Homo-oligomer: A and B are copies of this chain.
Amino acid sequence: MRDASTSAHEPVTDTELGNLVAHWRAANYLAVGQIYLKGNPLLGEPLRPEHIKPRLLGHWGTSPGLNLVHTHLNRVVKARDQDALCVWGPGHGGPAVLANAWLEGSYSETYPDIGRDADGMARLFHQFSFPGGVPSHVAPETPGSIHEGGELGYSLSHAYGAAFDNPDLLVACVIGDGEAETGPLAASWHSNKFLDPVRDGAVLPILHLNGYKIANPTVLARVPEPELDDLLRGYGHEVLHVTGDEPYAVHRAMTEAMDTALDTIALIQRTARDGGVTERPRWPVIVLRTPKGWTGPSTVDGLPVEGTWRAHQVPLPAVRENPEHLRQLEAWLRSYRPEELFDHDGRPLPHVLACVPEGARRLGSNPRANGGLLLRDLPVPALEPYAVQVDRPGATLHEPTRVLGDLLESVMEATSERRDFRVVGPDETASNRLQALYGATGKAWQATVLPVDEHLDRHGRVMEILSEHTCQGWLEGYLLTGRHGLFSCYEAFVHIVDSMVNQHIKWLKVSRSLPWRRPIASLNYLLTSHVWRQDHNGFSHQDPGFVDHVLNKSPEVVRVYLPPDTNTLLSVAEHVLHSRDYVNVVVAGKQPCFDWLSLDEARAHCARGLGVWEWAGTEREGEEPDVVLACAGDVPTQEVLAAAQLIRHQLPQLALRVVNVVDLARLLPETEHPHGLSDSQYDALFTRDRPVIFAYHGYPWLIHRLAYRRAGHPNLHVHGYRESGTTTTPFDMVVRNNMDRYQLVMDVIDRVPGLAVRATRARQAMEDARLRHHTWIREHGTDLPEVADWTWQPETGGGDGPPR
């Protein structure tokens, strides 16, 4: 452990220290005011119950610690003209961050109706956690923030994401000792093995041990300090401690720790950038140990509060009813001596603001925390050189993600100077067949490299760590600070970040309603190694439910695409890489897949989002079809086309329409999603009264949930994944879930009125084929040759099926 006091920088003077403490007192005062006061903000008169809000909401416990950190970040940012952000892990401490934004003036610039004066202070207090006002947590509404913090766990990965490819940026990150117990946070400490001291900025973690969560002591506050030091050194850090409860002493120690940390960071960066040193550095971490609810009521109703879990939210809960609580609140507020901090008009006095930086250096005004301000369009090349040649449908096979990899390589290449595009994935980039990327960049890696390793690169922009949480957090931080990216993931395991994507969607939803927040690049998922082709890994790897999860969320934010082949994947990728403020889920296979559409056809199809594939059907111009076969997803599309071909041969008189769906939200009513079809559009595709047999990539009921309002819904029959899986063959997966071509044909026969009797022979042929399949795989362990070698036959066959 390095002793913070031994660094070479100048110590602060007593005056400077006094000003820092004054700023902190002012922030504490403003935090308490937000929790309690609806009037009398400057305590111009004795506090009365009518000055108190009717519902007391907010979190005091963490606020004095956050205020301390903000005060001291102000100091070093100003002194060093340092470009800096802070990620506030204990984001429930909204009052603290709002207080600081107001003090530095960022708040009033963002929200002119909340001026930096007595009236503005009154509004600042009144609006907090009040209907129509601002949320109790740090939120998109908070200037300077890229992190909500309500769920806990993602602060440090967000901080690293912000720092990547921002070489001049310092990202401070306050980690609460509660949050430090979460899995995502615990994993993200190792992000420092991926931070390039040359091309990336710095992350300064500040582990705030205030000792308690809601109701319990925290683990890291209750292990011996040498054990904690071991842990942080084991994470690769150099540890600086700031401990105490005497304000001046803690403030002085904090100035020293901050200076030491920033000096160390500067030295590391200089050594790497100028000296070419490639050894992984030991970045500093500050351990700040101060009481929870510090400077708040020591005891309430005879029980200890300051320094305990009881300080977590509202330490004095009954201020309106209990005169003693009211008296304590007034004493608490007056303990900050507001008259020394604000003038009569409520304006902060100059010495209070002495540590506050100017303009865009203020933490609440840094444009990087409003990434859309800095965002540049991504240079996605024209698709033509990457598209596969398709002369007729189904004549060739390609691996869609492998071709996408070529496109992404070009994007990576085109951003090699700008460095504003990254691809993240949990050790699956090559498994997902995107390895062409390594032609343009390597995999970020700062740890030891052995001669046998491939593609590891100190400056790489492919990011692989076996933690979906860390990948997601990195990418979110990267996007929120104005850059672009893609997350490639096994479909089943993206559920690991269900709750993280929830929070990001919520963030985007609220951000879209704030004019000052500029649109950022969408969060793009490529989900591959999907449910139908995890036949080798088995049941644990088979889950298509992320689409369902995402579609529960705000329709203005979420988009789901299921490109059925290579060129449609390229077209979808082009679209999502250019889009803003969405969460785009793209589900696509990595296994060889028939090419159905040329690039032009793919573009037109993707632009519509769904459409009839005339070449695959047998309907006659101007007549309604007898039945619609619909599909969404690559494997369902193949099964539907195989079924269409069987029908063409077996039931040649049947008028069949094939509809393919790429953009799933098109199935929703237009009132429910911006992409939703009108009823007449829907009916024109799916008919109002003909049977629709739908083969869908995921859980079949999702299609019903999307289409239940449609006129034709009673005739809609969906096949999909029904949670039946294991290690088996690819075709057996569709058979097990009743989505195979034979089952689809049988369903057509059963659903088309009057057909079942006449198509007895055809139906029997389908049942025989399924039986043959079962026998064959048990014996051979592979799929039936007629399935494995199947190809689409474009010519209209005469067929030998029963006449209609």
Let me know if A233 and B236 touch, CB within 8 A.
Answer: no
Q: A35-58: which residues lie under 8 A (CB-CB) from chain B? A: 38, 53-55, 57
In Å, the complex CA distance between A667 and B572 comes to 37
Residues of B within 8 A of A728 (CB): 131-132
Take A182-B187, A235-B231, A499-B498 as given contacts and tell me if A539 and B554 are in contact as well, using a CB distance cutoff of 8 Å: no
Residues of B within 8 A of A150 (CB): 537-541
Take A153-B183, A453-B217 as given contacts and tell me if A509 and B723 are in contact as well, using a CB distance cutoff of 8 Å: yes
Which residue of B139, B510, B538 is within 8 Å of A136 (Cβ)? B538
A179 contacts the other chain (CB 8 A): yes
Q: Name the distance in Å between A103's Cβ and chain B's nearest Cβ.
A: 22
In Å, the complex CA distance between A493 and B552 comes to 16
Q: Which residue of B lies closest to A223 (CB)?
A: B447
Give the contact-size bracket for chain A. 35 or more
Which residue of B135, B448, B536, B708 is within 8 Å of A727 (Cβ)? B135
Residues of B within 8 A of A229 (CB): 234
Let me know if A503 and B186 touch, CB within 8 A.
Answer: no
Q: A188-207: which residues lie under 8 A (CB-CB) from chain B? A: 188-190, 193
Residues of B within 8 A of A328 (CB): none
In Å, the complex CA distance between A178 and B493 comes to 15
Q: Name the distance in Å between A551's Cβ and chain B's nearest Cβ.
A: 9
In Å, the complex CA distance between A187 and B777 comes to 43
Q: Which residue of B lies closest to A224 (CB)?
A: B448
Take A190-B181, A228-B234, A727-B135 as given contacts and tell me if A781 and B447 are in contact as well, using a CB distance cutoff of 8 Å: no
Q: A591-648: which residues lie under 8 A (CB-CB) from chain B? A: none
Let me know if A506 and B539 touch, CB within 8 A.
Answer: yes
23 contacts between A and B (CB under 8 A): A54-B780, A54-B781, A55-B536, A131-B778, A136-B727, A137-B537, A150-B540, A181-B187, A181-B190, A181-B466, A182-B187, A186-B187, A187-B187, A213-B427, A215-B429, A215-B431, A230-B231, A307-B452, A545-B549, A548-B548, A552-B701, A552-B723, A704-B704
Rank and list the top 8 A-B pairs by shortest CB-CB distance, nearest first.
Answer: A231-B234, A150-B540, A183-B183, A186-B186, A230-B234, A183-B187, A495-B499, A222-B447
Task: Spell out A's residues near B (CB within 8 Å).
Answer: 38, 53-55, 57, 92, 129-137, 139, 148-153, 178-179, 181-190, 193, 213-219, 222-224, 227-236, 304, 307-308, 427-431, 443, 445, 447-450, 452-453, 456, 464-470, 492-493, 495-496, 498-499, 502-503, 506, 509-510, 536-541, 543, 545, 548-549, 552-554, 699, 701-702, 704-705, 708, 713, 723, 726-729, 732, 777-778, 780-782
